[in-house]
Structure 1
């Protein structure tokens, strides 16, 4: 019996493709090995997605979805969507997977085929264990339907004081963010300062050049839906680069 979540819609040239009602079409490939080898955060700044709580439920996004790193931490639900232009390698009955955006799938302008991550295409490069839940690996690439979903994370939001920082350049990785998951603004407050806006360095790494070493720190994090969480005094005055601290979550 067909999955009740699927309906038939018509697209260009009257070709039929199965998509989930109200969702967006895209494509998906996979990388790494069967046990999640090479599952790194890359362009988002998550150094080890397994240890940082994202597990293997991750994907690298194409340019059209990555939004210059602003989409890092966002969560998606994905279905394999049979398309008559592709041999059907979707598994049945259809199931969905839920992933977090943790990396960037870069465009390749030197190739003329297999250029799934080139603009303006929407594409997810999944870990192999996630891809095999919705499709057979021999497919290589499959059409999918996707939608944004809330992120459910265990524990509080984390603040990693990156070791690349120095007393005059504080670089903080914000991760394990609940709610919509993607961070839009970060502010930091020292023991003797007011709230200081931080700037996005890359991915979900945020920086300030205000000297804050030796001060206790509080963070104010705002996600793309406008919600804000304040975590007061989560970093003690004796903090060091390379340490991770836990605050509140959405």
Structure 2
């Protein structure tokens, strides 16, 4: 009965949570972030961000379909690690964009303010690392808002907000002791339509850890706000056990070309990895007409270079290489001896002799090539012909040498 629940709440507050299942808030996972401007009145139903049921700040996110999970992520917070910084955001909306948000990949569309902190203002999309955390902005007890509609004892809906940790499920207990589980809608309201509820009732709100907070509702009247008897326990002790880091936008082993231009993992992101930025020439990135460097080489890259033309390779996203990579290494050969190949990846260049046999070169990113702080756009790797002839060159096993590989060499 309802009166007995008061004692239960007191015991709960004194002795902590009732754990039904364990969820690791500190787990890091790969994500991808874009940004959007229409941040008010998101699908989670919180209304204006600075309004009475909003989070009170603008560091928010719209979650992709898989992450939104039928509105289960509404009100949950995620800490996002990107190339420019780290920021906690709260989910207030569902991201609708096809191609970005309707896949299984955990995409987060950020407010401009959050995107600026995490990624900066020079990009439109970037890979990020994310972990779920307890919301640090939440103050006071959990709250509930009855839907502004013609609610009755036989049909009513409400939204629960201002919770530090995600909600697993809600049921209600009526004054006569009956308990009814509620359905969570895609728009983040909980619906009762299972007969006639005898008021007052108690909404029993369970966190993803199984902790319960009760909210007493006096009547089914719409647009009424109620405050819960407490707040979910803040799991700060778990949040910082695992320190995430921003993911590299390229292969962590440094591969630029290895049987094709390399993209890290299988992430469906056009900005990841390396892309053909050549201009004025056609590069065959899968040339199998000649043997590669070793048995693992199924194909090589090839192109005929006229005067001052070259193979150009780039990556869109920031790539701060210091402490991660030390050098550029590659194998090259030509259809004839050729002494005018210029390799550039920054303020300096290296003249590179080429013969008809595979030759390995390794150039320091710093001292040999004068590489900029970031190898991402607009930096570009060039293999340029400075001579007057038009040789056909072949490239294989192009790689940024990782620090560990340099140390063991």
TM range (shorter): 0.7 to 0.9
Alignment correspondent of 1:169: 155
Say which structure, 1 or 2, has more relative contact order (CA 8 Å, 6+ apart): 1
Give how far 1:225 is off. 2.3
Q: 1:151 to 1:136 in 2, by over 3 A?
A: closer
Count of aligned pairs between the two proteins = 201
- Work out which of the residue numbers 244, 247, 250 in structure 1 matches 2:225: 244
- Tell whether 2:102 aligns with 1:118: yes
Alignment correspondent of 2:59: 57
Give how far 1:186 is off. 0.7
Give how far 1:144 is off. 0.8
Aligned positions of 1:1-250 closer than 5 A: 23-32=28-37, 38-51=38-51, 52-54=53-55, 55-80=57-82, 90-91=83-84, 95-108=85-98, 115-152=99-136, 153-167=138-152, 168-178=154-164, 180=165, 182-209=166-193, 210-212=195-197, 215-231=199-215, 234-237=216-219, 240-247=221-228, 248-250=230-232
1:45–1:202 Cα contact (<8 Å) kept? no
1:158–1:174 Cα contact (<8 Å) kept? yes
2:46–2:54 Cα contact (<8 Å) kept? no
Deviation track 1:177-225 (CA, whole Å, cap 9, x = no partner) reads 12x2x22211122333432211112242101124347x22311011222
Give how far 1:48 is off. 2.5
TM-score (norm 2): 0.46
Aligned partner of residue 137 in structure 1, secondary structure? coil
Mapped partners of 1:245, 1:116: distance in 2: 37
Mapped partners of 2:184, 2:177: distance in 1: 20
Cα root mean square deviation, aligned: 2.1
Give how far 1:41 is off. 4.4
1:183–1:222 Cα contact (<8 Å) kept? yes
- Runs of 4 or more above 4 Å deviation: none
Q: Which has the larger radius of gyration?
A: 2
TM-score (norm 1): 0.73
Deviation track 1:54-96 (CA, whole Å, cap 9, x = no partner) reads 121210011221112112121110011xxxxxxxxx33xxx31
1:183–1:204 Cα contact (<8 Å) kept? no
